[in-house]
Structures are given as structure tokens and as C-alpha cells.
A and B are shown apart, each in its own frame.
Chain A
Amino acid sequence: MALDFGVFCKSTLDGEAVDHCFSSLFGLGQNADPSYLDWLMKAWGWTLAVAALGLAIALIVGAVMGTLRTLPDTGRGSRTLVRFATAWVELFRNIPVLVQVFLWYHVIPSFILPLKLLPSYWLVSIALGFYTSARIAEQVRAGIQSLPSGQRAAATALGMTTTQTYRYIILPMALRIVIPPLTSESMNAIKNSSVAFAVSVPELTLFAMQAQEETSRGVEIYLAVTGLYALSAFGANRVMALIEKRSRIPGFISPSNDASLAH
């Protein structure tokens, strides 16, 4: 079985070879008809857009919910918040992401009419974001609970309020600790964005299904799509590694690496 990647230089309209297969990517020539390569690149853009928006929602909501779950018991208000955040995590963790996408696409806009104005990829991103937020909340909670309890006690002894304790003591440490698990959650978000095919967002997986059917060059199409997914996940991994490096405080978190600074 010979691979023929020439399929990417063919027109999506009539299957003939296009004039500017690769150069059109760099804006050097304009194809009369879009080629499969052009379509692939557009689909990649959709995948990245859905994943990035979903991840942004997930990081913000997940950090908030994870923090709320660890609030100290100071009365009715804090107990309600803890219960709300716990319910949030259980709800969004125990429903498959594909079902959540259907809920946001088919069900929720009929109850909240303004959502009908949003483009469909936003709805998928919200679904993906809330689904991922439950996992991120658990990581953030574990990160906060891994801190020595003396930190919180010291903040209380200094007369800090709960908000101040979280803002100045707990979160600066906890959020650095959870960067490695968040790296794998970011890569998961890119992989999970593939469920957007089910509501016809023209992203990589939908491209793979449609182009495979049109060209019957499935192996080449799937290889390209799989490669782009792997590349995107690797990119997310590098970005998170950069964030981890930039935010690192010498002597903190990985004392073994900074042993030379200790004396």
C-alpha cells in the first residue's frame, strides 16, 4: 500500500491539482479552488480556537471552583460556597463530554435564548471548558490541600482575612504547584476538542471524516490530522513548561534542583 500525499494538493471541488499548493499557505499565490491542504489548515485553526477558548474558560472556572472547595468553615456563607463548588465538580465530571456538548448545543439555548446568538463553536468551547473545569478544580484543590497547614495558621495569626490569606499566601504557592498536572489537562483539552465534530464545527476530526469520504485517501488524511493533534498537544506542553519556568521562585517547589542555592 503506497501512500500518496498528493491528495492534499487537489482541489476540493473537482479533484484536479491546484496551482499553488504550498505557496498559498504563505499568501504567495491564490488558488482558484481551495485545496485539501487549505481546508486542513482551516480545520486546524478551528481546533485550536475551540481548544484555546475552552481551556481559558476551564482554567478560570476550575481555579475558582477548586479554591472554593477548600474554604474554611466560617459560617453559613462559606458552607454554601463549598457545597456549590462540590456539586459543580460532581455534575460536570460525571457526564460524558460528548453529552455535555449536545446539552450546550441542542438543549440549553432553548432555555437561555441569548445563547442562540453565539456562534456554535462558542457553545462547544463552553461545554469543553466546564467539563475540563471540574478536573482542573480537583487539581487545584489537591494543590491547596498539599500545603502545610501552618501556612494558613500563620496568616490567621497575622490577622489576615480569608480573602487576604488566599490572595497573598495560599494561591501564589498552590497555583505554582498545580502547573504540572494542568499541563496534562491542557493537552487533554486539545484532544477532547475533537468532540466538536458531533455538532458540525469544521475542525480537524470533521475534516478527517469528510475528506476521507470524498477522496478515499483515508490513511493520508488521518495521518495528517493525527500529526496536527500531536503537534498541538506538544505545543501546549511547551507553553506550559515556559509558564512553569517563568513563574518559578528559586528554592521553592523543587528544592532538589536548587540544592546549590541552599547554603
Chain B
Amino acid sequence: MLSLDLNFYNWELFTNYIVKGLIFSIQLTVIATIGGIVAGTFLALMRLSGRPALVYPATIYINTMRSIPLVMVILWFFLLIPMLIGKPIGADLSATITFIAFEAAFFAEIVRAGIQSVPRGQTYAGEALGMNYGQNMRLIVLPQAFRNMVPVFMTQTIILFQDTSLVYAIGAYDLLKGFEIAGKNYGRPIETYILAAATYFVICFSLSKVVRKIHAKVAIVR
């Protein structure tokens, strides 16, 4: 049995190693959530458009992204982007592009379900008032759909925050990496892994509590 010593975990270590990784993980989560929702909304609209030229590319993209392990998607982008633009790209930027592209496929399915949950009568009413497709979506359907989707979006964002740890595969400096490097430099790998798990748990657990609260509120309004 080995004894744990957490005394080495002080403010200095936190600011030197952990903060940088934490900021990157949060930044990646926020950018990928916003980018993913925007791109995902367009993908969902393509999928629901009813025009084969738009439906098939969107469907193929979404299904491909959803059937590949995220680690492989991260490796693919890290390999392909430099090939396409002809110069090397940093792990951080590559990870950001990957997560936007990957999350877009997941948010697209959420948005699609959200749009389909808005009664058809709303669209018809908009059309009866003389609105075109863009006005109808922007003013009538999407505002209602997004309101219903807020809790699901947030759940997906928590999963996304956990998934950012997978940038380990290309060596980007995220929260997990920060703990790992600190553990190596202080010779305390076991303690830092425990601290990493505790940090992720506290963040994700508190966020999921918040989601549950919001869910209850939205449910009452409906």
C-alpha cells in the first residue's frame, strides 16, 4: 500500500501547469460548441431541405463523423490539413478545427430533432403570413426549436468538455496534459492523475446539476 502526498499541489504548480491547460480545454469547448451549433444548424437545414443535392452530402457527412472514433478524426485532420494547405499546422489549431467539424455532426442531429419538434402548423402559419423560407426559419421555427434544445445542447457540451482530453493523441496542451506534465516534473504521477480525475469530475458534475435545473425550468414553460 502506498501513501498519497498531496502537499506538492500548491498555487505555484496550479498557475504554472494547470491554468494553461484548463484555459485551452475551456476555450476548445466554447469554440467547438459555438462553431458546432452554427455549422450543425446549416447541416440540419440541408438534411431537412428535401433537395437530394443538399440532403445526401449532409447525411453522408453526419453519418461518417458519427461512425468514426473521435481519436481517429483528430488524427485524420492532423494528417490531412497540412497536406491540403502545404505547410505544418499546430496541434492546438488542428484540434480546434477538428472539434468544430466533429461536433457539427452531433449538433446537427440535435437541431434536426429540435426543428422537427416544432409543430408543422407554425410553418404553415408563417407561410400564410407571406414569409419566405429564410424568414420562417429565422423568426418562427428556429427560436422555438433552440429553446427546446438548450438542455440537450448543454449535455452535449459536457460530453464535449470530456472529449477534449482526447487531444492527447496529437500532444496538444490541455487540462489532462497539464496534470501529466506536472506529475512528471514533480515525480508524482499517481497523485496528479487522481487530481486530474477530481478536477474533471467537479466541473462536469456541477455543470450537469445546472443542466438539470435548466431542464426543469424549460419543461415548465412548455
Contact = CB atoms under 8 A, between A and B. Distances in A.
A158 interface: no
A99 interface: yes
Nearest to B191: A107
A225 interface: yes
Contacts of B220: none
Contacts of A187: 67
Interface string B60-77: 000000011111100110
B79 A99 contact: no
Given A107-B190, A198-B168, A99 B69 contact: no
A260 interface: no
Contact of A94 (B70, B80, B194, B205): B205
A205 B193 contact: no
Interface in A191-233: 191-195, 197-198, 205, 208-209, 212, 218-219, 222, 225-226, 229-230, 233
Interface in B142-177: 158, 162-163, 165-166, 168-169, 176
Given A94-B204, A103-B193, A208 B72 contact: yes
A174 interface: no
Contact of B193 (A94, A107, A190, A222): A107
A22 interface: no
A104 to B, nearest CB: 10
A95 interface: yes
Contact of B69 (A90, A107, A192, A219): A192
B2 interface: yes
B169 A197 contact: yes
A222 B76 contact: yes
B2 A99 contact: no
B71 A194 contact: yes
Contact of A194 (B69, B200, B204, B208): B69
A209 B204 contact: no
Nearest to B204: A94
Given A98-B165, A197-B169, A91 B68 contact: no
B196 interface: yes
Chain B residues touching A, majority SS: helix
A219 B168 CA distance: 21
Interface in B36-77: 67-72, 75-76
Nearest to B63: A230
B197 interface: yes
A26 interface: no
B128 to A, nearest CB: 33
A196 to B, nearest CB: 10
A103 B165 CA distance: 14
B176 A99 contact: yes
A165 interface: no
Contact of B176 (A93, A96, A192, A218): A96
B83 interface: yes
B126 interface: no
B68 A106 contact: no
B72 A98 contact: no
Interface of A: 1, 90-91, 93-100, 102-103, 106-107, 110-111, 187, 190-195, 197-198, 205, 208-209, 212, 218-219, 222, 225-226, 229-230, 233
22 contacts: A91-B201, A94-B158, A94-B204, A95-B162, A96-B162, A99-B196, A99-B197, A106-B189, A110-B2, A191-B67, A195-B71, A195-B166, A197-B169, A198-B168, A205-B69, A209-B75, A219-B80, A219-B83, A222-B72, A222-B76, A230-B67, A230-B68
**Across the A-B interface, the 10 shortest Cβ-Cβ residue pairs:** A94-B204, A96-B162, A194-B69, A191-B69, A96-B165, A194-B71, A218-B79, A94-B205, A98-B165, A94-B201
Interface of B: 1-2, 67-72, 75-76, 79-80, 83, 158, 162-163, 165-166, 168-169, 176, 189-190, 193-194, 196-197, 200-201, 204-205, 208
